[in-house]
Structure 1
């Protein structure tokens, strides 16, 4: 049996926000999806309901950004991310999600504030060279991304910490991010099934929300495709900062 209208009054905006994120508009909007949905159901059920919708959004995003991605970045980051998911599965009962939110939020706040200081502070105007590919850093941040994605639905900020300083073309960056998280979400299906979170009730609710997923994803991609690099990167760092503040406050609030 499907929930009543009050559930959908919260669930539909949550799906739209996550869809805009999947279209390329940054992690901050997407982080609001599960908390909004959790106002109507438990956080665990909210995450379970959202995962199949994320998979559909990933399919739409993969098609929209099919011509844009950086192969080298994916090859460096995916192995670490898969290890991170495995570690998250193995330690899901031992490590509170709130601790992971707190750590990821704090690190990403520092990362984003450093960018804005360099861009608008005393050294504004001094060009900052793009960082090259760094296998060790890629493995570390991708493991944190995979781990955070599994235990706290917070995989975006660690990816941004490694990916944004590469200064890829905005379309290439977005396409790379889309492929990265599409793989992570697909891999997460197995452990979510194993933990019993994808039952018939949650899947039926997910199916009822699916029509809103592709529309929001296409809208997000339409906006990002029209952004120039000098607008795209400040916007993405701002989204990273907002996402990090949200994670930090959530983690701190529960621990406190």
Structure 2
């Protein structure tokens, strides 16, 4: 696969995009990278390729945001997230590649629909304890598709955090959840020699994306970034669902 021109066109773009999203825009759209890779790789291989790269991005982005997170929200999301990861292990053991493609594609389109759904008036902040449920959903979707960002974002945005506190909290939460995912991923054989070699070759692109994300956090509006993301996720999600059903 590393000899494929398609791979070397799409994979570096996907990894840079993941770095930019995680380091600068709250991780919500980072899972688009796994969705894109699932078009050119079997879903399990795509997930195994991305996790070490996401963990590398987490490691790089922890320092710039160190101590800027909101610990009460972070802690409760992590607690719920671990339970969601356990539920993800159960589903992952029985799901086929096409079922995973369909799930990743559905989450992609669902994320776009949620973002574009009209909302009227101010929304009441979710109680702190609701973070357990949001964390569980985030942990589950993160395990099966690296798509934990949206449910975590729904909860954190309702808590009224500043842009930087929101970003720092997501960095901490997904550093912890990705670390938690790595153990069952290794146990059920998601990591393979080929994907680890691919990941080593793509690591510089992950670092580049993280660097750009930190810089762009203050320079680019979230509206512009997510507009591009919505188009990207819509096309990718439809393609994955079509492939799964056909």
> TM-score band, normalised by the shorter chain?
0.7 to 0.9
For the pair shown, the structure with the greater C-alpha radius of gyration is: 1
- Report the counterpart of residue 61 of structure 1 in structure 2: 61
- Report the counterpart of residue 46 of structure 1 in structure 2: 46
**Structure 1: which 5+ residue stretches go unaligned?**
none
RMSD value over aligned CA atoms? 3.0
User: Among residues 105, 111, 115, which one is paired with 1:112 in the alignment?
Assistant: 115
Check conservation: 2:31, 2:145, Cα contact below 8 A. no
Check conservation: 1:85, 1:150, Cα contact below 8 A. yes
Cα distance in 2 for partners of 1:42, 1:103 equals 17
1:150 Cα deviation (Å)? 0.7
- Report the counterpart of residue 134 of structure 1 in structure 2: 128
SS at 2:137 equivalent: helix
1:167 Cα deviation (Å)? 2.0
1:68 Cα deviation (Å)? 1.3
- Report the counterpart of residue 93 of structure 1 in structure 2: 93
Check conservation: 1:80, 1:143, Cα contact below 8 A. yes
Cα distance in 2 for partners of 1:20, 1:8 equals 19
Task: Rate the CA distance shift 1:28–1:80 in 2: closer, same or farther, 3 A.
Answer: closer
Task: Rate the CA distance shift 1:36–1:198 in 2: closer, same or farther, 3 A.
Answer: same
User: What is the TM-score normalised by the length of structure 1?
Assistant: 0.79
Of 207-216 and 243-252, the range deviating more from structure 2: 243-252
Cα distance in 2 for partners of 1:11, 1:104 equals 20
- State how many pairs are aligned: 241
String of CA shifts for 1:75-127, please: whole Å, max 9, x gaps. 2211110000011112323454356557756765564345x443xxxx6xxxx
Check conservation: 1:70, 1:176, Cα contact below 8 A. yes
Mapping of residues 152-231 of structure 1, within 5 Å = 152-226=145-219
Task: Rate the CA distance shift 1:64–1:243 in 2: closer, same or farther, 3 A.
Answer: farther
Cα distance in 2 for partners of 1:163, 1:191 equals 27
Cα distance in 2 for partners of 1:244, 1:36 equals 8
**Structure 2: which 5+ residue stretches go unaligned?**
none
Cα distance in 2 for partners of 1:245, 1:61 equals 28
Check conservation: 2:43, 2:101, Cα contact below 8 A. no
User: What is the TM-score normalised by the length of structure 2?
Assistant: 0.82
Task: Rate the CA distance shift 1:113–1:201 in 2: closer, same or farther, 3 A.
Answer: closer
SS at 1:218 equivalent: helix
